[in-house]
Amino acid sequence: MRTVSQAVTTPSIAHIWFAVAVGVLAAMTLGCNKTPPPESAKPAARKAPPPPVVSDDGGAYVLRYFSPTTGNLLIAKKVDDVPKGARGQVLVVPDDPKLQGPWLFVADLSAPKDGKYSARTVDRFAMEQTRAKEQALVEAATAKADGNKDEVVLYKTAWCGYCKKAARYLTLKGVPFKQLDLERDAGARADMMRRAKEAGFPASRLQGVPILYIKGRILSGFSRDAIDAALKG
């Protein structure tokens, strides 16, 4: 499972860039029903920059994570400021405007190696193309299925790798499901909290993504076995 975060108060250039980047990504979710940007809208192909080096001392970046208690997207400057339960997958937003474009940087702050933390560069446009393909597969599976479309709900974020794995697994099984982005879809978090309460699932355990609602049950994290068991009822 990847732990996530909530928005904070003081805007900056980095924060504004983050909102724009996530907004473009979220446009590919099922809720928005929009097509990927045309080829002409993409920047010329270029080599992906290396992710910022993340260390305990901080650097020319801010860290964005989901609060494990409130689910809100927060900002930190140093690793020590990020709760341990939220360090699995953290967005690194560089101060350098040249890096605030077609790239997203995701870091695992769970444990350092040689004093540094593992981080990776994500191509925003490649993610959009993948999202469009996944959307087409989901719509095809949903069109063939009977029953309540809301019976299975995936609560996720655009940059969560395990959310994508959960979506692909449900799609491959031919299960119709609804996706709600906890960062961008209005009412997504309230809907998740309501379903969790109805299922008797403690709000304190809604500390990361993906969160799955399957036939009256709440699953935290991605587990094929848990999904299979919930689908059987």
Burial 174-185, CB ≥16 within 10 A → b, else e:
ebbbbbbbbbbb
pLDDT confidence band for 25 (50 / 70 / 90): very low
User: Distances from the Cα of 33 to the Cαs of 41, 89, 125, in angstroms?
Assistant: 18, 27, 17
Amino acid at 106: V
- 66 CB-near residues (< 8 Å, 6+ apart): 3, 4, 5, 6, 72, 73, 74, 86, 157, 182, 207, 208, 209
pLDDT confidence band for 61 (50 / 70 / 90): very high
| pTM reported for the whole predicted model | 0.46
- Write out pLDDT tens, residues 168-185: 999 999 999 999 999 888
List the domains of the chain with CATH numbers.
Answer: 2-123 (no CATH), 126-232 (3.40.30.10)
Contact between 218 and 211 (Cβ < 8 Å) = yes
